[in-house]
Chain A
Amino acid sequence: MTTRASWWERLRHSSLFWPLVALALVMLFNLLFTPNFFRLEIKDGHLFGSLVDVLNRGAPLMLMAIGLTAVIATAGVDLSVGAVAAICAAMATRLVGNVTDVTATPLPLVIMIALGLAILCGIWNGLLVSRANIQPMVATLVLMVAGRGIAQLITDGQIITVYYPPFFYFGAGYLLGLPFTLFIVAAVFLFARLMTRRTAIGLFVESVGTNASSSFYSGINEKNIKLLAYVFCSFCAGIAGIIISSNVKSADANNVGLFMELDAILAVVIGGTLMSGGRFSLAGSVLGALLIQSVTTTIYAFGVPPEVVLVVKSLVVLFVVLLYSEPVKIALDKLAQRKGVRA
Chain B
Amino acid sequence: MADNSNILTMKGISKAFPGVQALDAVDFSLRSGEIHALLGENGAGKSTLIKVLTGVERQDRGVIELDGHEILAKSPHHAQTLGISTVYQEVNLCPNLSIAENILIGREPRFAGSIDWRRLNARAAQILEWLEIDVDVRQSVGMYPVAIQQMVAISRALEISARVLILDEPTSSLAAHETEKLFAVMRKLKSEGIGIIFITHFLAQVYEVSDRITVLRNGKLVGVFDTATLPRVELVARMIGRDLNELEEMSRYKQAAATLSQSSVVLQAKDFGRVGSIEPFDLDLHKGEVIGLAGLLGSGRTEMANLLFGVDKPDSGTLTVAGQRVEQHAPLRSIQAGMAYCPEDRKADGIVGDLTVRENIILALQASRGWFNHLNTAKQREIADKYIKLLNISTPTADQLVKNLSGGNQQKVILARWLATDPDILILDEPTRGIDIGAKAEIQKLVLTQANQGKSCIFISSELDEVLRTSHRVLVLRDNAVVVELAQDEMNERTIMHIIAGGES
Q: Could you list which residues of chain A lie within 8 angstroms of chain B, going by C-beta atoms? A: 198-201, 203-204, 206-207, 210-211, 213-221, 278-279
- CB within 8 Å of A: which B302-316 residues: 309, 311
Residue from the list A200, A203, A219 in contact with B332, Cβ < 8 A? A219
Tell me the nearest residue of chain A to B345, going by C-beta.
A213
Complex Cα–Cα for A279 and B401 (A): 12
Nearest first, the 6 A-B pairs at minimum CB distance are A219-B367, A219-B332, A219-B335, A278-B354, A210-B354, A218-B364
Q: Which residues of B contact A221 (CB under 8 A)?
A: 330, 332
Residue from the list B331, B335, B372 in contact with A200, Cβ < 8 A? B372
**Contact A216–B355 (Cβ < 8 Å):** no
Complex Cα–Cα for A58 and B364 (A): 39
**Contact A200–B359 (Cβ < 8 Å):** no
- How far is the CB of B181 from the nearest CB of chain A, in Å? 31
Complex Cα–Cα for A214 and B355 (A): 12
Residue from the list A198, A200, A201, A211 in contact with B352, Cβ < 8 A? A211
**Contact B368–A214 (Cβ < 8 Å):** no
Residue from the list A210, A220, A278 in contact with B367, Cβ < 8 A? A220
- How far is the CB of B332 from the nearest CB of chain A, in Å? 4
**Contact B372–A220 (Cβ < 8 Å):** no
- How far is the CB of B56 from the nearest CB of chain A, in Å? 14
| Bitwise interface map of B from 363 to 383 toward A, beta carbon under 8 Å scored 1, else 0 | 110111111111100000000
Q: Which residues of A contact B349 (CB under 8 A)?
A: 213-214, 217
Output the residue of A198, A219, A220, A278 with the most chain B CB within 10 A. A219
- How far is the CB of B178 from the nearest CB of chain A, in Å? 26
The contact sample of 14 A-B pairs, CB cut-off 8 A, is A200-B369, A200-B372, A206-B359, A207-B363, A211-B351, A213-B349, A214-B352, A216-B311, A217-B341, A220-B332, A220-B363, A278-B354, A278-B355, A279-B354
Complex Cα–Cα for A221 and B370 (A): 10
Q: Which residues of A contact B374 (CB under 8 A)?
A: 198-200
Given A204-B371, A219-B332, are A210 and B366 neighbors across the interface (CB < 8 Å)?
no
Residue from the list B309, B330, B348 in contact with A213, Cβ < 8 A? B348
Q: Could you list which residues of chain B lie within 8 angstroms of chain A, going by C-beta atoms? A: 309, 311, 330-332, 334-336, 341, 343, 348-355, 359, 363-364, 366-375, 417
Tell me the nearest residue of chain B to A213, going by C-beta.
B349
**Contact B355–A217 (Cβ < 8 Å):** no
**Contact B341–A210 (Cβ < 8 Å):** no
- How far is the CB of A22 from the nearest CB of chain B, in Å? 24
Complex Cα–Cα for A198 and B349 (A): 27
Given A207-B363, A217-B349, 10 more pairs with CB closer than 8 A: A199-B374, A200-B371, A200-B372, A210-B353, A210-B354, A211-B352, A217-B343, A219-B332, A219-B336, A219-B367
Residue from the list B330, B348, B359, B369 in contact with A207, Cβ < 8 A? B359
Q: Which residues of A contact B373 (CB under 8 A)?
A: 200
Complex Cα–Cα for A207 and B334 (A): 20
Q: Which residues of A contact B350 (CB under 8 A)?
A: 214, 217
- How far is the CB of B428 from the nearest CB of chain A, in Å? 13
Tell me the nearest residue of chain A to B403, going by C-beta.
A210
Complex Cα–Cα for A200 and B373 (A): 7
Complex Cα–Cα for A216 and B343 (A): 11
Given A214-B348, A216-B331, are A200 and B354 neighbors across the interface (CB < 8 Å)?
no
- How far is the CB of B241 from the nearest CB of chain A, in Å? 33
**Contact A218–B355 (Cβ < 8 Å):** no
Q: Which residues of B contact A220 (CB under 8 A)?
A: 332, 363, 367
**Contact A206–B351 (Cβ < 8 Å):** no
- How far is the CB of A145 from the nearest CB of chain B, in Å? 27
Q: Which residues of B contact A200 (CB under 8 A)?
A: 366-367, 369-375
Q: Which residues of A contact B368 (CB under 8 A)?
A: 219
Q: Which residues of B contact A217 (CB under 8 A)?
A: 309, 311, 331, 341, 343, 349-350
- How far is the CB of B364 from the nearest CB of chain A, in Å? 4
Complex Cα–Cα for A213 and B355 (A): 14
Q: Which residues of A contact B370 (CB under 8 A)?
A: 200
- How far is the CB of B381 from the nearest CB of chain A, in Å? 14
- How far is the CB of A278 from the nearest CB of chain B, in Å? 4
Tell me the nearest residue of chain B to A197, going by C-beta.
B374
Complex Cα–Cα for A42 and B106 (A): 65
Complex Cα–Cα for A152 and B467 (A): 67
**Contact A218–B367 (Cβ < 8 Å):** yes
- How far is the CB of A129 from the nearest CB of chain B, in Å? 19
Residue from the list A199, A218, A278 in contact with B363, Cβ < 8 A? A218
- How far is the CB of A324 from the nearest CB of chain B, in Å? 16
Given A219-B332, A219-B335, are A214 and B367 neighbors across the interface (CB < 8 Å)?
no
Tell me the nearest residue of chain A to B309, going by C-beta.
A217
Given A219-B331, A278-B354, are A204 and B348 neighbors across the interface (CB < 8 Å)?
no
Complex Cα–Cα for A219 and B367 (A): 6
**Contact A207–B372 (Cβ < 8 Å):** no
Complex Cα–Cα for A203 and B356 (A): 11
Q: Which residues of A contact B375 (CB under 8 A)?
A: 200
Given A217-B341, A219-B367, are A207 and B352 neighbors across the interface (CB < 8 Å)?
yes
Q: Which residues of A contact B372 (CB under 8 A)?
A: 199-200
Complex Cα–Cα for A201 and B372 (A): 8
Q: Which residues of B contact A215 (CB under 8 A)?
A: 352, 363
Complex Cα–Cα for A236 and B371 (A): 21
Given A216-B331, A218-B331, are A210 and B371 neighbors across the interface (CB < 8 Å)?
no
Complex Cα–Cα for A203 and B334 (A): 21
**Contact A214–B371 (Cβ < 8 Å):** no
Complex Cα–Cα for A59 and B222 (A): 62
Q: Which residues of A contact B367 (CB under 8 A)?
A: 200, 204, 218-220
Output the residue of B332, B352, B367 with the most chain A CB within 10 A. B352
Tell me the nearest residue of chain A to B311, going by C-beta.
A217
- How far is the CB of B336 from the nearest CB of chain A, in Å? 8
Tell me the nearest residue of chain A to B348, going by C-beta.
A213
Tell me the nearest residue of chain A to B366, going by C-beta.
A200
- How far is the CB of B154 from the nearest CB of chain A, in Å? 26
Output the residue of A200, A217, A218, A221 with the most chain B CB within 10 A. A218
- How far is the CB of B421 from the nearest CB of chain A, in Å? 8
Given A206-B354, A206-B355, A217-B341, are A199 and B364 neighbors across the interface (CB < 8 Å)?
no
Complex Cα–Cα for A217 and B359 (A): 15
**Contact A203–B364 (Cβ < 8 Å):** no
Q: Which residues of B contact A216 (CB under 8 A)?
A: 311, 331
- How far is the CB of A287 from the nearest CB of chain B, in Å? 21
Tell me the nearest residue of chain B to A215, going by C-beta.
B352
Q: Which residues of A contact B353 (CB under 8 A)?
A: 210-211
- How far is the CB of B85 from the nearest CB of chain A, in Å? 25
Complex Cα–Cα for A218 and B367 (A): 7
Complex Cα–Cα for A289 and B366 (A): 32
Complex Cα–Cα for A215 and B332 (A): 10
Q: Which residues of A contact B341 (CB under 8 A)?
A: 217
- How far is the CB of B422 from the nearest CB of chain A, in Å? 14
Tell me the nearest residue of chain B to A220, going by C-beta.
B367
Complex Cα–Cα for A36 and B369 (A): 55
Q: Which residues of A contact B359 (CB under 8 A)?
A: 203, 206-207
- How far is the CB of B357 from the nearest CB of chain A, in Å? 13
Q: Which residues of A contact B334 (CB under 8 A)?
A: 219
Complex Cα–Cα for A221 and B333 (A): 10
Given A207-B363, A221-B332, are A199 and B371 neighbors across the interface (CB < 8 Å)?
yes
